[in-house]
């Protein structure tokens, strides 16, 4: 990516050296999966930065921040959340070894990314342009992500299906961590430490650890206060008005004939001057909201909802009234930089005032209605080319269909029928597949035999395989799955009771059953999102490396592939039960239950 950026800016410069260059460089780091090169993993490992655990790391970061002067000298750390994150000295030796591997790979990923950004900046200098180039460097993933859970995970796809493999299972992926054979994320203990001096994580929008990022700005020709610190409140929506101000470009009123909304945000160009180092913040009011957790900043005050869900608690019933069914906390950031002193009880009128202010901001910026669901919104049906279709017919090979437009075969009964002609000498290859190495299904011929194979999150494979290779000639190969559960409809009633259930699968050749078995559980929420639905071959990664490697083209002639979907429908009795359960859960008590982390 850095190579492409450097090539692009060089071509512009060589074409016209006076042409200004705008570069929006946005790599994937530090978002999962963490995939650095081995060189960087080895470099970080040799430094032994993390051997004494995440609590000690947090303390070191905090003290270093004080030495650098970026946080107040009298600031105090919030307590370690031992109820949800097991203290380092309580972990097993195996867990410590695994967690150190996880964080070294993460740190290598961040260091590798930082190095590549350095190459891009160096390229500006090599072109003689750095002195008059404004560089805005923001590093992070909202707050540090805890979407690996307390144990970390070898596969974030497993995490988003509410599967948290224990340490002994994850150790099987120890050497693969950081490579294409893992979709890895680290223990949330490290995430808590990396959010120092704040607490909590990405997704916890009501805590500064969930929204506060570092930002470094360089513009040698314009900014003379080298190494200066600025503490005014700023938001990412302030970047665009800042760029417009310093370039003298007016915000467009129309784009392609469409009238534009006013630019939101406030320029922070005033902070470039040393005399404004301590000037009052010009961005005075800002809301944050994510999955029902919210906060309002106004003139140094911060009203926030108390955290009621850790990021790995995505599969519980959601707070149905996240606007009001909350415990509210209040902070004066001018006096308490890191939300460690809640003063809501002493200022009830301020809480009331700021709750009303948040509601006005939420109305103004189309935040309402608030939705506290997490996994439910991931699984919820979306607009799609295949949405609502019960039968899909394909007559030619096709690859690269995004998961959003692929037939959705989770939490439902379905039948996949392939009419094929096997040539003399037999055939092999992929008939149809969706997903990849970390979750998905494949329908293929292996050594001539028909196989239907479900990859359950790279932890278990359930396969149906015919005993005999298909003979030359015309054949109809069919897989039928009868799902046991109530389906996605239960989610509308704040219940996951209908998803991830088992069912009975049956593989047939020319009308004859050749393999039959139950699958006791199914994937409940999502397949691997960066893989595709393919017919006639398999792109990217396969669903079972032990059977084949992509592209695994089908050598039989595909005449027709038919997919029929029979989605469960809730009966009146089902709906009555779900409504009663939903009503029983709504007792008006503020939602606040955090599950303990594992030992």
pLDDT digits (tens, 9 = 90+) for 232-268: 999 999 999 999 999 999 999 999 999 999 999 999 9
The reply to whether 536 falls in a domain is: yes
Same domain, 250 and 299: no
Same domain, 353 and 290: yes
Same domain, 201 and 212: yes
* Token code pair at residue 290: 């994510």
The band of 597, judged by pLDDT with boundaries at 50, 70 and 90, is: very low
The reply to whether 170 falls in a domain is: yes
Same domain, 125 and 196: yes
Q: How far apart are CA 39 and CA 578, in angstroms?
A: 54
* Token code pair at residue 68: 């650098």
The reply to whether 13 falls in a domain is: no
pLDDT digits (tens, 9 = 90+) for 552-588: 999 999 999 999 999 999 999 999 999 998 888 665 4
Q: Is the pLDDT of residue 590 over 80?
A: no
Average pLDDT over residues 57-73: 95
Same domain, 427 and 357: no
Q: Is the pLDDT of residue 502 over 90?
A: yes
Q: How far apart are CA 310 and CA 282, in angstroms?
A: 33
The reply to whether 101 falls in a domain is: yes
Same domain, 227 and 238: no
Q: How far apart are CA 554 and CA 445, in angstroms?
A: 8
Average pLDDT over residues 487-502: 94
Q: Is the pLDDT of residue 498 over 80?
A: yes
Q: How far apart are CA 178 and CA 183, in angstroms?
A: 8
**Share of the chain residues as helix, strand and coil, in percent rounded to the nearest 5:** 30, 20, 50
Strand-pair category, 512-519 with 301-305:
unpaired
For residue 251, how many other CB atoms are within 10 A of its CB?
11
pLDDT digits (tens, 9 = 90+) for 410-466: 999 999 999 999 999 999 999 999 999 999 999 999 999 999 999 999 999 999 999
Long-range Cβ contacts of 458-465 (<8 Å, 24+ apart): 458/154, 458/155, 458/157, 458/158, 459/158, 459/163, 459/165, 459/169, 461/544, 462/505, 462/517, 462/519, 463/544, 464/505, 464/506, 464/507, 464/515, 464/516, 464/517, 465/507, 465/515
Same domain, 268 and 173: no
Same domain, 483 and 345: no
The CATH number for 360's domain is: 3.30.1120.10
Q: Is the pLDDT of residue 595 over 80?
A: no
To which H or E segment does residue 432 belong?
strand 429-436
- Bridge-partner residues for 23, per DSSP? none
Average pLDDT over residues 472-497: 96
Computed over every residue of the chain, the mean pLDDT equals: 94
Q: Is the pLDDT of residue 591 over 60?
A: no
pLDDT digits (tens, 9 = 90+) for 146-192: 999 999 999 999 999 999 999 999 999 999 999 999 999 999 999 99
Percentage of the chain beyond pLDDT 70 is 97
Give me the sign of the Cα torsion angle 516, 520, 524, 527: negative
Instruction: Name which residue leads in pLDDT, 139 or 184.
Output: 184
* Token code pair at residue 481: 């799955």
* Token code pair at residue 14: 């060589």
For residue 115, how many other CB atoms are within 10 A of its CB?
13
Same domain, 411 and 339: no
Given this model, what pLDDT does residue 393 score? 98
* Token code pair at residue 580: 């009663």
Contacts of 518 (CB under 8 A, 6+ apart): 502, 503, 504, 505
Q: How far apart are CA 501 and CA 417, in angstroms?
A: 23
Q: How far apart are CA 135 and CA 248, in angstroms?
A: 17
Tallying the residues shown for the chain, one arrives at 599
**Range of the structural domain that residue 176 is part of:** 29-231
The reply to whether 180 falls in a domain is: yes
Say if residues 485 and 498 touch (Cβ distance below 8 Å).
yes
Domain tally, the chain = 4
The CATH number for 140's domain is: 3.40.720.10
The reply to whether 19 falls in a domain is: no
The CATH number for 442's domain is: 2.60.120.200
Q: How far apart are CA 485 and CA 154, in angstroms?
A: 28
Given this model, what pLDDT does residue 30 score? 87
Same domain, 127 and 85: yes
Give CA torsion, residues 81, 85, 89, 93, to 10 deg.
Answer: -170
Same domain, 211 and 266: no
Strand-pair category, 449-456 with 460-465:
antiparallel
Same domain, 254 and 290: no
The reply to whether 1 falls in a domain is: no
* Token code pair at residue 577: 């039960």
The reply to whether 428 falls in a domain is: yes
The band of 140, judged by pLDDT with boundaries at 50, 70 and 90, is: confident
Given this model, what pLDDT does residue 599 score? 32
The band of 589, judged by pLDDT with boundaries at 50, 70 and 90, is: very low
């Amino acid at each position: 990516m850095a190579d492409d950026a450097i090539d692009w800016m060089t071509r512009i410069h060589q074409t016209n050296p006076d042409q200004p260059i705008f570069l929006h460089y946005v790599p994937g780091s530090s978002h999962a999966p963490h995939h650095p090169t081995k060189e960087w993993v080895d470099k970080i490992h040799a430094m032994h930065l993390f051997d004494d655990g995440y609590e000690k790391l947090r303390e070191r970061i905090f003290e270093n921040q004080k030495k650098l002067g970026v946080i107040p000298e009298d600031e105090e750390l919030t307590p370690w959340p031992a109820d949800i994150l097991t203290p380092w000295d309580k972990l097993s030796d195996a867990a410590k070894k695994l967690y150190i591997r996880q964080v070294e790979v993460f740190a290598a990923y961040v260091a590798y990314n930082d190095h590549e950004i350095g190459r891009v900046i160096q390229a500006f200098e090599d072109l003689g342009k750095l002195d008059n180039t404004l560089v805005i460097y923001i590093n992070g993933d909202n707050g540090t992500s805890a979407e690996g859970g307390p144990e970390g995970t070898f596969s974030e796809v497993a995490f988003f299906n509410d599967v948290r493999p224990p340490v002994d299972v994850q150790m099987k992926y120890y050497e693969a961590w950081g490579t294409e054979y893992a979709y890895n994320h680290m223990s949330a203990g490290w995430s808590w430490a990396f959010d120092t001096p704040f607490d909590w994580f990405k997704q916890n929008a009501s805590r500064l650890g969930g929204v506060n990022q570092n930002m470094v700005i360089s513009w040698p020709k314009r900014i003379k206060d080298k190494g200066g610190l600025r503490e005014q409140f700023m938001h990412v929506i302030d970047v665009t008005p800042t760029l417009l101000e310093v370039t003298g470009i007016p915000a467009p009123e129309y784009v392609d004939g469409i009238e534009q909304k006013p630019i939101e945000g406030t320029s922070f160009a005033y902070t470039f001057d040393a005399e404004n180092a301590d000037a009052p913040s010009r961005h005075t009011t800002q809301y944050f909201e994510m999955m029902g957790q919210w906060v309002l900043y106004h003139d140094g005050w911060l009203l926030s909802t108390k955290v009621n869900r850790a990021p790995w608690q995505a599969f519980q019933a959601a707070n149905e009234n996240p606007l009001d069914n909350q415990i509210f906390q209040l902070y004066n950031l001018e006096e308490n930089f890191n939300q460690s002193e809640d003063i809501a009880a002493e200022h009830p009128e301020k809480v009331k005032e700021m709750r009303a202010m948040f509601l006005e901001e939420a109305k103004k910026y189309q935040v309402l209605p608030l939705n506290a669901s997490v996994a439910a919104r991931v699984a919820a049906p979306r607009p799609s080319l295949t949405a609502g279709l019960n039968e899909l017919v394909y007559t030619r090979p096709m690859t690269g269909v995004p998961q959003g437009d692929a037939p959705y075969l989770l939490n439902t009964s379905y039948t996949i029928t392939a009419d094929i002609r096997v040539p003399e000498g037999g055939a092999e290859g992929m008939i149809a597949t969706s997903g990849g190495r970390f979750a998905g299904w494949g329908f293929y011929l292996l050594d001539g035999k028909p196989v239907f194979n479900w990859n359950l999150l790279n932890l278990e494979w359930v396969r149906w395989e015919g005993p005999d290779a298909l003979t030359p000639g015309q054949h109809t190969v069919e897989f039928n799955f009868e799902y046991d559960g109530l389906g996605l409809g239960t989610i509308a009633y704040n219940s996951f009771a209908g998803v991830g259930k088992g069912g009975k699968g049956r593989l047939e050749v020319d009308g004859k059953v050749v393999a039959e078995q139950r699958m006791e559980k199914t994937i409940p929420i999502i397949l691997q999102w960066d893989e595709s639905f393919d017919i006639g071959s398999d792109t990217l990664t396969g669903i079972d490396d032990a059977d084949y490697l992509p592209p695994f083209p089908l050598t039989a002639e595909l005449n027709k592939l038919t997919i029929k979907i029979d989605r469960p429908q809730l009966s009146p009795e089902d709906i009555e039960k779900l409504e009663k359960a939903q009503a029983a859960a709504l007792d008006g008590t503020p939602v606040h239950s955090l599950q303990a982390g594992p030992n």
